[in-house]
């Protein structure tokens, strides 16, 4: 205790006792005491409330009230300095009562001398200080507990830091707290949280640093080594990061490194308006606290990273599952399409035959047959769309540079009757806007497919806006590829169809790409988006859907930008030519189809022999050859039991390489590009066979045969 002069307040109504006390204190060596005297209870209490003294000497008998009451009132008011009660001889009751009520000591008047007074004062002060320190320690431990408990329950970094700052502001308390996180790779400090006591007059002056600063420029490099920095007077600071605190009238600051496994994780800064505002105990407390906070913050960050990794994984998993589901559905749809095709072929084929060849049909029969034809054409159209969903890109499909801006503009024009005219008739207004990137690179693709896909999207958008609205067609570069020298080229383009319509709920959004999923009842087949999905897949692209009920929908198609390597074209349908009469062997296990094809071919003047299986076809082929009347061409179904079309073609080609073989299958489009594409085939025909298609294929193979082009 080398404090210069201890301030003593004597509350005493007897002047003699005051004089005596003054003399006692004067006797003590060193003139270390400064005595102030008040006579009355009220003035005494008032002086104590002002908290200007190091110790109080209070007389028990004080006229109006007594010393014990004053003691209790002072302690209740939060008096921290020791109070020594001066009692009369024989007041033992009072003495013990005083000690119980929080007096630091008591002295019996007339029984103490100068030395005893000094000892009592000094011990009381020492004890009080020890008590206060202990109390502070306990408070800090409990604060530490409170904070660590609070942050252990929180799993995101921002939350953890804000809890710490909030608790410190309230309980330490500090006026300003901030946390910078250290980026190890970049060597920078970036501000992650900050809190200024709200009633502080400088509240508006501390701005949040958006930019990370290299630690070397902050003046806080010592933190890298885990060193705590105490700046008792921030006005004098050398550290540039702390200079900002001066403007905000902070007087002192503590900078505590937050270390995780000996590496700097972040820096915590606590500040107070007062200079020399932090005690050693507080600095130590902050250091201990930051050890815990660093760990919790580190955990929280790991947790967040883990969480986002999980989310990403889940999304990928969902995307894969969705893809698989669509693939399975696609296969199923193709299977169904195949069966429907087989069943449908005779219906449309015979109807067509009757219409072409029967001269004596009544008008009604003509009409009915036309109805049958139209109906089966409609079914065939649905089947084609269904197959479109799953089919792979055909080799002969044209892959040409496509300008999506031009194509989109075309589709806007083409669909105008639907979005404008029909809507106007219904008294609603649908507006179509474009927002094209003029520098959009071309993609490689098939225009007709893309056009149809986009048309479907626009129709859906119109359907989604029963009360009208706006459709925006937007193109832009979606991603860039960076070359070594830093130059960048577009790697993906994005085409968005954005509507302001009713939007989709989560369930619809999840299933809308599936074939036959529709919420439009009779008005929709549910094949539109399945078809779009197929188109996008065949362009190696992706679809993203942003939609929420009442919030409209954005359908986003993303296509890769690629160089056109090879381009090919579909051979356009040739003008109908009469095919010279041929001897044709037709093999199919379906009786109706056999009959239909026989009829069609015979009508065109061919001689037709039919066989109902691969084996009987092969027998017939060999027999004809043996008889010196070989067939000019063979048309065979692909899928047959025992000896299928592919195996048959292989045998036939071996035995008679020059005989053209035409394979007929509902899977024609699927087979292309497959590994097991029949090698020995000169032409492929779709089921149901359209008469013109059949004629055209026969013409081609006949020409090739005559020109000797067959391998
Ligand atoms: N832009 C959109 N806004 C809201 N819902 C949509 C949108 N586009 C598609 N949908 C939802 O997705 C479903 C499937 O769409 P899809 O185009 O495949 O079939 P459809 O429009 O019902 O019938 P189809 O296109 O075969 O006539 C729709 O029935 C509808 O519920
Ligand atoms: Mg649709």
CA dihedral 350, 354, 355, 359 (to 10 degrees): 170
Query: Is the CB–ligand 1 distance for residue 533 below 6 Å?
Result: no
Q: 595-633 as b/e, with b when 16 or more CB fall inside 10 Å? A: ebbbbbbeebebebbbbebbeebbebbeeeeeeeebbbb
| Mean local confidence (pLDDT), 372-395 | 74
pLDDT at residue 484, rounded to an integer: 61
Atom of ligand 1 nearest to the CA of 513: 18
| Mean local confidence (pLDDT), 60-75 | 88
Atom of ligand 1 nearest to the CA of 517: 14
The residues, ordered by sequence, that sit 6+ positions from 303 with a Cβ below 8 Å of its Cβ are 155, 156
Q: Return the bridge partners of 10, or none.
A: 37, 57
Q: Which residue is closest in CA terms to ligand 1's atom 25?
A: 528
Binned at pLDDT 50, 70 and 90, residue 571 comes out as very low
| Mean local confidence (pLDDT), 674-693 | 68
CA distance 216 to 187: 8
pLDDT at residue 673, rounded to an integer: 39
Domain 6-136: CATH superfamily, name plus number: Response regulator (3.40.50.2300)
Q: Which residue is closest in CA terms to ligand 1's atom 7?
A: 460
Query: Is the CB–ligand 1 distance for residue 500 below 6 Å?
Result: no
Domains 400-560 and 583-706 agree in fold: no
| Mean local confidence (pLDDT), 489-508 | 94
Closest-lying ligand to the alpha carbon of 525?
A: 1
Query: What's the pLDDT tens digit per position in 129-170?
Result: 898 889 888 988 988 998 888 888 778 888 889 999 999 998
Q: 336-356 as b/e, with b when 16 or more CB fall inside 10 Å? A: ebbebbbebbbbbbbbbbbee
CA distance 261 to 258: 10
Query: Is the CB–ligand 1 distance for residue 167 below 6 Å?
Result: no
Phi/psi at 604 (5° precision): -85, 10
**Lowest-confidence region among 180-189, 395-404, 412-421, 627-636:** 395-404
Quick one: which of 533, 498, 464 has its CA closest to 322? 533
Query: Is the CB–ligand 1 distance for residue 648 below 6 Å?
Result: no
Ligand 1 center from residue 512 Cα (angstroms): 6
Query: Is the CB–ligand 1 distance for residue 82 below 6 Å?
Result: no
The residues, ordered by sequence, that sit 6+ positions from 374 with a Cβ below 8 Å of its Cβ are none
Query: What's the pLDDT tens digit per position in 284-294?
Result: 999 999 999 99
| Mean local confidence (pLDDT), 456-484 | 91
pLDDT at residue 11, rounded to an integer: 95
pLDDT at residue 458, rounded to an integer: 96
pLDDT at residue 709, rounded to an integer: 40
List helix spans (H) across 358-395: 363-390
pLDDT at 376 over 90: no
CA distance 377 to 380: 5
CATH fold for the domain made of 583-706: Rossmann fold (3.40.50)
CA dihedral 222, 223, 229, 234 (to 10 degrees): 90
pLDDT at 400 over 80: yes
Closest-lying ligand to the alpha carbon of 500?
A: 1
Please work out, in degrees rounded to the nearest 5, the angle formed at the alpha carbon of residue 502 by the alpha carbons of 500 and 508: 125
Ligand 2 center from residue 601 Cα (angstroms): 39
Q: Which two tokens stand for residue 112?
A: 């103490």
Q: Return the bridge partners of 502, or none.
A: none
CATH fold for the domain made of 152-306: Beta-Lactamase (3.30.450)
Query: Is the CB–ligand 1 distance for residue 218 below 6 Å?
Result: no
Best residue for ligand 1 mutational test, from 383, 453, 463 (most atoms within 8 Å of Cβ): 463
Phi/psi at 471 (5° precision): -110, 125
Query: Is the CB–ligand 1 distance for residue 444 below 6 Å?
Result: no
pLDDT at residue 572, rounded to an integer: 38
Binned at pLDDT 50, 70 and 90, residue 658 comes out as confident
Binned at pLDDT 50, 70 and 90, residue 666 comes out as low
Closest-lying ligand to the alpha carbon of 518?
A: 1
Query: What's the pLDDT tens digit per position in 203-247?
Result: 445 666 778 889 999 999 999 999 999 999 999 999 988 988 888
Binned at pLDDT 50, 70 and 90, residue 390 comes out as low
- How many other C-beta atoms lie within 10 A of the C-beta of residue 41? 21
Distances (CA, A) of 619 to 195, 587, 593: 93, 11, 20
**Class assignment of domain 400-560?**
alpha beta
Hey, which of 56-60, 446-450, 562-566, 639-643 has the most confident mean pLDDT? 56-60
CA distance 240 to 220: 8
Q: Which two tokens stand for residue 442?
A: 């071309």
Query: What's the pLDDT tens digit per position in 523-569?
Result: 888 889 998 998 998 898 999 999 999 999 999 999 999 865 544 33
What residue segments make up the domains of the chain, in order of their start? 6-136, 152-306, 320-390, 400-560, 583-706
What is the DSSP secondary-structure string of 522-577? GG--S-HHHHHHHHHHHTT-EEEEEE-TTS-EEEEEEEE---------PPPPPPP-
């Amino acid at each position: 205790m080398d404090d210069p002069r201890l301030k003593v307040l004597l509350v005493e109504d007897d002047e003699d006792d005051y004089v005596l006390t003054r003399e006692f204190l004067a006797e003590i060596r060193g003139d270390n005491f400064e005595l102030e005297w008040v006579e009355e209870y009220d003035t005494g209490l008032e002086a104590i409330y002002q908290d200007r003294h190091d110790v109080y000497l209070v007389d028990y008998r004080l006229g109006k009230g007594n010393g014990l009451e004053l003691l209790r009132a002072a302690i209740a008011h939060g008096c921290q300095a020791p109070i020594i009660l001066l009692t009369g001889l024989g007041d033992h009751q009072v003495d013990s009562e005083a000690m119980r009520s929080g007096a630091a000591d008591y002295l019996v008047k007339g029984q103490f001398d100068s030395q005893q007074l000094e000892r009592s004062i000094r011990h009381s002060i020492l004890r009080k200080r020890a008590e206060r320190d202990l109390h502070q320690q306990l408070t800090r431990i409990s604060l530490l507990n409170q904070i660590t408990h609070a942050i252990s329950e929180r799993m995101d970094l921002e939350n953890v830091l804000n809890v710490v700052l909030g608790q410190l502001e309230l309980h330490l308390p500090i006026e300003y707290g901030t946390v910078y996180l250290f980026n190890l790779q970049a060597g920078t400090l970036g501000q992650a949280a900050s809190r200024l006591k709200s009633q502080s007059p400088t509240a508006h002056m501390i701005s949040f640093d958006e930019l990370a600063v290299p630690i070397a420029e902050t003046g806080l490099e010592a933190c890298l080594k885990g060193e705590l920095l105490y700046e008792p007077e921030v006005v004098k600071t050398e550290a540039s990061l702390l200079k900002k605190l001066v403007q905000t009238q902070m007087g002192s600051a503590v900078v505590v490194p937050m270390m995780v496994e000996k590496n700097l994780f972040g820096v915590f800064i606590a500040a107070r308006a007062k200079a020399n505002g932090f005690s050693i105990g507080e600095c130590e407390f902050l250091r201990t606290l930051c050890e815990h906070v660093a760990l919790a913050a580190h955990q929280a960050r790991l947790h967040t990273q883990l969480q986002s990794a999980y989310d990403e994984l889940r999304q990928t998993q969902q995307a894969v599952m969705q893809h698989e589901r669509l693939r399975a559905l696609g296969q199923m749809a193709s299977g169904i399409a195949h069966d429907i095709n087989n069943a449908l072929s005779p219906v449309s084929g015979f109807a067509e035959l009757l219409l072409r060849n029967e001269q004596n049909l009544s008008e009604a029969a003509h009409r009915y047959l036309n109805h049958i034809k139209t109906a089966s054409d409609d079914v065939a159209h649905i089947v084609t769309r269904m197959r479109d969903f799953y089919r792979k890109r055909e080799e002969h499909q044209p892959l040409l540079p496509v300008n999506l801006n031009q194509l989109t503009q075309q589709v806007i024009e083409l669909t105008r009757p639907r979005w404008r005219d029909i809507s106007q008739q219904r008294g609603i207004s649908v507006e179509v806007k474009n927002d094209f990137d003029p520098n959009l690179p071309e993609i490689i693709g098939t225009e007709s497919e893309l056009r149809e896909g986009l048309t479907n999207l626009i129709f859906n958008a119109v359907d989604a806006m029963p009360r009208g609205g706006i459709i925006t067609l937007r193109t832009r570069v979606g991603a860039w590829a960076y070359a070594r020298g830093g130059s960048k080229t577009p790697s993906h383009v994005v085409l968005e169809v954005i509507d302001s319509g009713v939007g989709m709920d989560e369930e619809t959004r999840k299933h809308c790409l599936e074939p036959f999923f529709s919420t439009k009842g009779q008005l929709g087949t549910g094949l539109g988006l399945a078809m779009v999905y197929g188109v996008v897949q065949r362009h190696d692209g992706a679809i993203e859907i942003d939609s929420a009920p009442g919030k409209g929908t954005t359908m986003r198609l993303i296509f890769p930008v690629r160089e056109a390597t090879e381009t090919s074209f579909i051979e356009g349908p040739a003008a109908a030519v009469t095919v010279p009469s041929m001897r044709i062997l037709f093999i199919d296990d379906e009786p109706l189809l056999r009959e239909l094809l026989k009829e069609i071919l015979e009508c065109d003047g061919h001689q037709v022999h039919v066989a109902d299986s691969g084996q009987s076809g092969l027998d017939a082929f060999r027999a004809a050859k043996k008889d010196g009347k070989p067939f000019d061409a063979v048309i065979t179904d692909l899928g047959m039991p025992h000896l299928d079309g592919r195996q048959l073609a292989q045998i036939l080609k071996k035995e008679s390489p020059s005989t053209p073989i035409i394979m007929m299958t509902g899977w024609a489009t699927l087979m292309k590009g497959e590994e097991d594409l029949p090698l020995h085939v000169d032409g492929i025909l779709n089921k149901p066979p359209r008469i013109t298609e059949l004629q055209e294929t026969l013409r081609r193979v006949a020409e090739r045969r005559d020109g000797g082009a067959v391998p």
